[in-house]
Structure 1
């Protein structure tokens, strides 16, 4: 994609990790490695907002949490969090809403 790799790729990886933790599934699942690469580059995963938690809890994923995960997994690095402080701020706001 003619782009350098920077710290924002780690935010994408964190989004994939959160997605799997919340749903019990990978965002893109295929036996074809090239298809998985294509999906990570070009497709958005299934929305989290209406999904049920996959592991033990059977509650819906709150929209605020889904929004954070989708922002972490944005295809364009410019659309992801630009710093860990921005992510920390959103996570703190999310925690405050839950409490």
Structure 2
């Protein structure tokens, strides 16, 4: 994608970690490494609220948590949080 890696990649990784903690599954699963790279570059994972209900029964994940994780995992680095600092 001809983009340099910066601190915002850490936000993406944090989003993946939170996703797994809340759902019990990784956002993308594949045995093919290139497909997995493609998923992380181009595909959005299932929404946490939907996947969380599917995996953990009827337990609801608050919408605000889902929104935070989805923003952390935005494909475009400019759409992610730009800092951990509260404004």
- Whether the TM-score (by the shorter chain) exceeds 0.5 is yes
Of structures 1 and 2, the larger Rg is shown by 1
1 or 2 for the larger relative contact order (CA 8 Å, sep ≥6)?
A: 2
2:77 corresponds in structure 1 to: 77
Q: Which consecutive unaligned segments of at least 5 residues does structure 2 have?
A: none
How large is the RMSD of aligned CA atoms in angstroms? 1.8
Q: Does the residue aligned with 2:59 lie in a helix, a strand or coil? A: coil
Aligned equivalents of 1:9, 1:83: Cα separation in 2: 12
1:22 corresponds in structure 2 to: 22
Residue 18 of structure 1, CA deviation: 0.2
Question: What is the total number of aligned residue pairs between the two structures?
Answer: 86
Residue 58 of structure 1, CA deviation: 5.2
Q: Does the residue aligned with 2:9 lie in a helix, a strand or coil? A: helix
Contact 1:16–1:73 (CA under 8 A) maintained in structure 2: yes
Residue 36 of structure 1, CA deviation: 0.5
Residue 85 of structure 1, CA deviation: 1.1
Q: Which consecutive unaligned segments of at least 5 residues does structure 1 have?
A: 90-99
Q: Cα deviation per residue 1:28-74 (whole Å; 9 max; x = unaligned)?
A: 0011111100000000000112332856x851111100000000000
- After TM superposition, what 4+ stretches of structure 1 lie above 6 angstroms from structure 2? none
Contact 1:72–1:81 (CA under 8 A) maintained in structure 2: yes
1:61 corresponds in structure 2 to: 61
